[in-house]
């Protein structure tokens, strides 16, 4: 485990790298600081890559006026709904197919075909079915979350030791008790281990859905800015989304610290 001093040094280098990137961005888009390298017109760099000062001014304007909060709430709601519904469906169907070999063999090629399909192409279909409200974004997010949870649950149940199941049956455990006390805890440990990916994919589904067609959300703000060639607003939206994603990742890390204490370490199941 790294010491506190090495951690502080690492954080310092990370901050310095961020400052260097921002300084390069500022210099590259300021025609008075650097001569044009790629563009014949020195003002084109700012047009294509934005100006960091104006980008941060736009972010400040959004938060100061309060216009961003409603869009952030919509994106957060879509992310949470996609995560909860996708996890619930993945957990339920994963448990069912892991415990039903015949159904698993029957549906295996169809599940693989659906998983190989690029989910983005479903966005127009969901827009027709559910409209441009949050329903279509949640549906897109569910398709992203479902498969990662499904495969984790399926693998977790299939890897339950036969010895554990046999011992539980000898002690008189019914199928329902096996499901509750053996299979579900094993599956949930795999679900908890994939929290970062699940929440991240739910967030991606919400933002991509908003960008492809919506009337609210941060993705909608970026879409509107793109339509008016406001590159500073586009980068401002990207900056807000990045900060929002980092906040979600931090919250998931806090949840993992509490939840993963129940996850068995490698080999412990066999020792039982």
Contacts of 109 (CB under 8 A, 6+ apart): none
Q: Which residue numbers in the chain have pLDDT < 70? A: 1-3, 31-46, 159-181, 259-272
The pLDDT of residue 214: 78
Chain segment 182-214, per-residue pLDDT in tens: 777 777 777 777 777 888 888 888 888 888 877
The pLDDT of residue 143: 92
pTM for this predicted structure:
0.77
The pLDDT of residue 269: 42
Q: Residue holding tokens 């309060």?
A: 66
Rg (CA), the chain: 24
Written as six digits, the tokens of 150 are 């499904």
Superfamily of domain 61-271: MetI-like (1.10.3720.10)
Q: Residue holding tokens 């400052």?
A: 19
Chain CA centroid to CA 213, Å: 19
Chain segment 225-262, per-residue pLDDT in tens: 888 888 888 889 889 888 888 888 888 888 777 766 55
The pLDDT of residue 270: 41
Parse the chain into domains and list their residue ranges.
Answer: 1-49, 61-271
The pLDDT of residue 271: 43
């Amino acid at each position: 485990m790294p010491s506190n001093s090495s951690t502080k040094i690492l954080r310092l280098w990370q901050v310095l790298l961020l400052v260097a990137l921002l300084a390069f961005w500022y210099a590259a888009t300021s025609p008075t600081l650097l001569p044009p390298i790629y563009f014949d017109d020195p003002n084109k760099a700012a047009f294509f890559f934005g100006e960091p000062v104006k980008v941060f001014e736009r972010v400040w304007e959004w938060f100061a006026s309060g216009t961003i909060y409603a869009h952030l709430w919509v994106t957060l709601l879509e992310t949470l709904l996609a995560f909860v519904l996708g996890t619930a469906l993945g957990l339920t169907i994963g448990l069912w197919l892991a415990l039903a070999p015949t159904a698993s063999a029957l549906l295996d090629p169809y599940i693989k075909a659906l998983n190989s399909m690029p989910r983005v192409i479903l966005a127009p279909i969901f827009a027709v079915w559910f409209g441009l409200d949050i329903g279509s974004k949640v549906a897109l997010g569910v398709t992203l979350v479902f498969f990662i949870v499904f495969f984790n649950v399926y693998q977790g149940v299939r890897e339950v030791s036969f010895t554990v199941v046999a011992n539980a049956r000898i002690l008189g455990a019914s199928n329902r008790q096996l499901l509750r006390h053996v299979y579900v805890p094993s599956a949930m440990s795999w679900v908890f281990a994939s929290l970062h990916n699940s929440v991240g994919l739910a967030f991606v589904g919400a933002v991509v859905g908003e960008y492809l067609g919506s009337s609210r959300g941060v993705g909608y703000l970026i879409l509107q800015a793109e339509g008016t060639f406001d590159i500073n607003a586009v980068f401002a939206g990207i900056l807000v989304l990045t900060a929002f994603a980092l906040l979600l990742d931090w919250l998931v890390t806090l949840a993992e610290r509490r939840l993963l204490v129940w996850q068995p370490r490698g080999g412990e199941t066999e020792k039982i």
